[in-house]
A and B are shown apart, each in its own frame.
Chain A
Amino acid sequence: MLDDAIDTELAEFETERARSHTRVVAARFLRHRVATVALIVLVLMALASFFAPKYYSFDPNERTGALSEGPSSTHWFGTDNLGKDTYAQVARGTTKSMQIGLLVAIVATMLGVAVGAIAGLYGGWIDALLMRITDLFLVIPLLAVLIVLANRYRGDSGNWKEIAFVIAMFAWMYQARITRSELLALREREFVKAARALGASDRRIVFRHLLPNAAGAIIVNATLVVATAILIEGTLSFLGFGVTPPDISLGSLIDEGAEAARTRWWLFYLPGLWLVTILLCVNFVGDGLHDAIDPSQDRVRE
């Protein structure tokens, strides 16, 4: 096949090009100082949470016997009235939140790219219908719909995957719009016309030419989906429709801590500031990636 011949010939050149492109993006990202700091903080928080069971002396659900103690060198974030250690709980909650955020980002990106690619590639009434549905999904009161759907899994232990899929079902819309508009712009470019003139199939054009060129914008938005998913998961758990014990969510921790905000501030403020820091960092990283991958594009947020 002609396709295969070209593939082998171009493979070497393409890996070389891909490597240098990644390097350029990385260099541009590192120039963005806030984003670099945010990425470092985020990685540290993730590692600290993930490896907490290895280095921290307490389990999240263990009753330590130290009741309602403030932060100290033994109990870093203090304890609640049952003697549970807040840092251990925050670490467990962060791990779960990040797992959910990543799973939602992956599923929503696949969904969104599929919808956007079909709409952008076929055009006509298929495009009109798919975009109409996308717009409909954009205006619905997301949280209300999510509570109704998550209600089915309320109280089921180990329900975090179901929660993640429910969130993903309503987090793909911007990915679809971005993919579609990227494809519409790319479709008219010379290299795509050239590939088509050489007899490349639809599938080859989509997977080898269109999507790799749209990948930058899609990846940037995927980081924003992670932030949104963590935020929504926290909100669902705060309202009592999210993950269930033994899993812990930062949202449910903050909900429990809110009652004690005045007398035992650490139960409310420390998990809350932790969550806000995560969200702030993810948003900054998304911003830095945006500038690094596509410096030419118009920006709404700066």
Chain B
Amino acid sequence: MFSYILRRLAMSIPTLVVASFFVFVLVAASGDPLAELRANPGISDATINAREQELNLDEPLLSQYRVWATNAVQGDLGESVQFNEPVSEVLARRLGVTFRLVFLATIIGVVVAVFIGVVAAVKQYSLFDHGSTFLAFVFFSMPVFWLAAVLKDAGIRMNDRFGQTIFYTVGERTPNLDAGFIGQLTDRAGHLLLPSLTLILISVAGWSRYQRASMRDVLHTDYVRTARAKGLSESQVLGRHALRNALVPVVTVVALDFGAILGGAIVTERVFAWKGMGTLLIESLQNQDTPMVQGWLLASAVIVIMFNFAADIFYGYLDPRIRRA
């Protein structure tokens, strides 16, 4: 297992290098950071040239990348234009907020999806199976931004009806809240409720279908029949023999979908006015904060690669054949 982990880790380094170059080219292609200065007739060419030199824009793309990547490796992602603060510090602050949302939604989403998928596969063609299939199809076709806004509206209506705040619909926490540790914690949990519900509903729709399909395949295999034949209890057959094997394809899908969850978080944050990574990206693009956008994309690339690395390790745990290959 240890050498398998090392091998996987070694493989993610070239991926990271490619991804970082891709990020750099992408941002370079997304527009000229000095477009606004150039369009302004009151600003002299000398000022623009000085600014170009400061941002290394007068160098060829490859050497610009080299400078940026060398600094990035040392933890220096440059200075944010809109915050006048190091990019890495802003990112660290905002990451925590988004991480709460994405992490919670993914964990609960996986657990709920696996549960629904397994029950639907075991009780095939039952009312539960048909009901969950129908709901999955509906939520699968639902845009995140629409669902988030509907839940927000429903929350506001509930609050109006009961004349008090039951559902928090704005922000990730109550600003300047004077409360102890427990109070802060419940405040944040309350703010998490509707945004994470949005992401959970959407991701469960897709994942539960995969879990159902793979569980159904596994239930028809010889080794499950053998397990039953040798007299194991149903819970042992399902848990130890069927589910463990049926999880492998689902792990792939969840790992592949991580980027989509991050996208969902961008939208959800916008709807619920969270000060997280999503709003940060939108504001940075609107304010032509190029170093921030580069840092944002690099950070998200690192997270996605780490997440896939974790999924690889989980594979190795689930399926010994993979780690020995």
Contacts and interface: CB of A to CB of B under 8 A. Distances in A.
A272 B150 contact: yes
Contacts of B137: 280, 283-284, 301
Given A140-B259, A144-B296, A283-B140, A238 B267 contact: yes
A47 interface: no
B62 interface: no
Given A238-B267, A279-B142, A299-B213, A141 B259 contact: yes
A142 B29 contact: no
Given A144-B300, A149-B29, A302 B133 contact: yes
Interface in A287-302: 298-302
Contact of A254 (B18, B30, B149, B285): B149
A140 B209 contact: no
A139 B304 contact: yes
Contacts of A258: 149, 152-153, 271
A140 B281 contact: no
Interface string A139-155: 11111110111011010
A223 interface: no
Q: Is the interface of A mostly helix, strand, loop or mixed?
A: helix
A240 B282 CA distance: 9
A101 interface: no
A231 B152 CA distance: 20
A239 interface: yes
Contact of B263 (A142, A241, A272, A301): A142
A82 interface: no
Given A141-B259, A149-B26, A149-B29, A254 B146 contact: yes
B26, B146, B258 pick with most chain A CB within 10 angstroms: B146
Given A136-B15, A152-B30, A261-B149, A239 B157 contact: no
Interface string A245-264: 00000010011001001100
B30 A139 contact: no
B146 A276 contact: yes
A275 B147 CA distance: 12
B256 A139 contact: yes
Contact of A144 (B144, B209, B262, B308): B262
Contacts of A145: 26, 297
Nearest to B35: A152
Given A141-B259, A143-B263, A148 B26 contact: yes
A152 B153 CA distance: 32
Contacts of B68: none
B96 interface: no
B19 interface: yes
A117 to B, nearest CB: 23
A255 B213 CA distance: 36
Given A149-B26, A151-B30, A239-B267, A234 B19 contact: no
A249 to B, nearest CB: 12
B153 A262 contact: yes
A175 interface: no
A258 B143 CA distance: 14
A279 B141 contact: yes
A272 B151 CA distance: 13
A298 B149 CA distance: 36
Contacts of B281: 144, 147-148
A172 interface: no
A141 B263 contact: yes
Interface string B204-220: 00000110010000000
Nearest to A234: B143
B282 A147 contact: yes
Interface string A90-119: 000000000000000000000000000000
Contacts of B138: 280
B239 interface: no
A35 B264 CA distance: 28
B289 to A, nearest CB: 11
B149, B150, B157, B264 pick with most chain A CB within 10 angstroms: B149
A235 B149 CA distance: 12
10 contacts: A140-B19, A141-B300, A148-B26, A235-B144, A238-B145, A238-B267, A258-B153, A280-B141, A301-B137, A302-B209
Given A238-B145, A268-B153, A272-B146, 15 more contacts: A136-B15, A140-B301, A141-B260, A143-B263, A144-B296, A152-B31, A235-B145, A258-B149, A261-B153, A261-B156, A262-B157, A279-B141, A283-B140, A283-B141, A301-B136
Q: 9 closest A-B pairs (Cβ-Cβ)?
A: A143-B263, A141-B259, A279-B141, A261-B153, A280-B141, A141-B262, A258-B149, A238-B145, A151-B285
